[in-house]
Chain A
């Protein structure tokens, strides 16, 4: 087990290093970072002075060394837009994104399992069909668009919730539902598929044979076994939310998390902030994957040795 954890740790560090190299290549070697950050009307002399000040005139390897040294200390320089350390800005926004992601995850897992529990008790019923069609539609909708439609209905028409901003429950509900919608669809589809596998297993015949009610057999035996793929999928969904889905949803609801921050940094061409944001997101995803993998290793010994 220790060996497994160590192997996973080394791998995670490799991913972080890979992401940093990638971020460096993107920001320093595709295009000209100085022209990028300065206003369009700045003179060539100003651009040159800025290049000197930022070290963009150094050999590329020297630049990379400085970048790597600073990145190891989680220092990506000051944000050009806010004139504060970029890392602080990102860390300040991170909890707000995590709050949204946590609520959306709980929401999607609970709703998906509830729906599937009802649907698999009555296969091919109206509810089962509605669930399947509904989850396909949920998976096919652009989530930012769903957010806008929810705003139209609940904020503009009925005034139940606020259109955008950060705060209590009335701000939180719409973005959380928007973020959860796709996961609900995906988890329901996968649960359905897993349940079909489980329902045709031998132990279901035994369960029914020993006189268990259909309900008890489905809920206590089949659904319990089907939870493993559900856990896998929801872990994967969390990573997907953090690493991208929040960008559009936070933009729609002006939710001040790291997704919105990424867009703001990109619109202001604030390279240090972009670097810090991408790096932190990668770090969160990697840590999440690490925790999930170790959790699996604990639960399922087969995974440890593969």
Chain B
């Protein structure tokens, strides 16, 4: 009975959203991998909540962060004997609510962190691409500049510049960007050097693509994942650097609040009010830890060489 073989009609390929946008599929795959890793997932959720809280600070915060009440100054957290339920994490020497100041302070850390990554990352990437792509004398000069600036005492130079141009959020962003672009330049240069000799770049050159087309259309997309990983790692470093600047009094100025500044203000009261320095420090540490965990995970997912390093091989 083989005469009437069932003819299977050719299936019309239906273009789904995922087929049309291959990047979307990658993103979804990444999301699935994130859900599998509990540590990285909780770090990501923590950071999302942090972003939400800082964007909607005026709705989330229980009090106005600058509202003073000298009758209620230096109250300990709510769970201590002298604590008040409406001031969950206590009050500072001016009677301001510590929790509300923490919530508003998260804005500074995030804004400074993201802006510095954007500026120093963009500048460093362009320098790295130019240096790695053109090579020769251009590469030599650019990399000497990178080396030179890497040898500078970064924090001290940053402090000196701030002294001259005055402390403000904008100036902190400028100073930390001046300080941070070299890492990006060096990493991107290395990757570009490797890419330059690959076949698809030769192909692009053969069909007559110009330098800028090759650099921005063909090379840059391939640098995305190392860039994201390095950017995340740098974010952790920059949040800490902002905290140090604010702590030594060269960062955010009162009455605005930032986590580093809160520790600075609490420093003088350390013998009588432990909560003033403890909570902002925990906020910084948790944020930086979450960013670090996410960066480690990103590197493990995007770089197969790193994946096996997550676990020690068993002995014997």
Contact = CB atoms under 8 A, between A and B. Distances in A.
Given A141-B281, A142-B284, A278-B157, A136 B289 contact: yes
Nearest to A122: B315
Contacts of B155: 243-245, 247
A41 to B, nearest CB: 19
A247 B316 contact: no
Interface string B290-313: 001100100000000000110111
Q: Which of B166, B274, B296, B315 has the most CB of A within 10 A?
A: B315
A277 B155 CA distance: 12
B207 interface: no
A274 B309 contact: no
Interface in B248-289: 248-250, 260, 263, 266-267, 270-271, 274, 277-278, 280-281, 284-286, 288-289
B285 A145 contact: yes
A27 B289 CA distance: 36
A247 B159 contact: yes
B33 to A, nearest CB: 20
B249 A267 contact: yes
B315 A214 contact: yes
A124 B315 CA distance: 10
Given A27-B164, A136-B289, A141-B281, A123 B313 contact: yes
Interface string A150-165: 0110001000000100
A262 B159 contact: yes
B244 A247 contact: yes
A226 B303 CA distance: 22
A281 B313 CA distance: 42
Nearest to B155: A244
B148 A14 contact: yes
Nearest to A249: B244
Interface residues of B, number: 52
Contacts of B263: 142, 144-145, 148
Given A208-B316, A266-B163, A144 B244 contact: yes
Nearest to B236: A140
A182 to B, nearest CB: 9
A196 B156 contact: no
Contacts of B314: 123-124
Contacts of A122: 315
A269 B312 contact: no
B160 interface: yes
A267 B166 CA distance: 12
B94 to A, nearest CB: 20
Contacts of B221: none
A219 interface: no
B289 A137 contact: yes
A233 interface: no
Contact of B288 (A140, A144, A242): A140
A285 B153 contact: yes
A149 B164 contact: no
B285 A286 contact: no
A146 B278 CA distance: 9
B156 A120 contact: no
Contacts of B83: none
A36 interface: yes
A219 to B, nearest CB: 13
A16 B260 CA distance: 32
Nearest to B286: A140
13 contacts: A26-B160, A122-B315, A123-B313, A123-B315, A136-B292, A140-B289, A144-B247, A151-B270, A193-B309, A247-B155, A247-B244, A252-B267, A281-B153
Interface of A: 11, 14-15, 18-19, 22-23, 26-27, 30-31, 36, 120-124, 128, 136-137, 139-142, 144-146, 148-149, 151-152, 156, 163, 192-193, 195-196, 199-200, 208, 214, 218, 242-245, 247-248, 251-252, 262-263, 266-267, 269, 274, 277-278, 281-282, 285-286, 289
Give the 6 A-B residue pairs with the shortest CB-CB distance, closest first. A244-B155, A123-B312, A145-B281, A243-B153, A140-B289, A140-B288
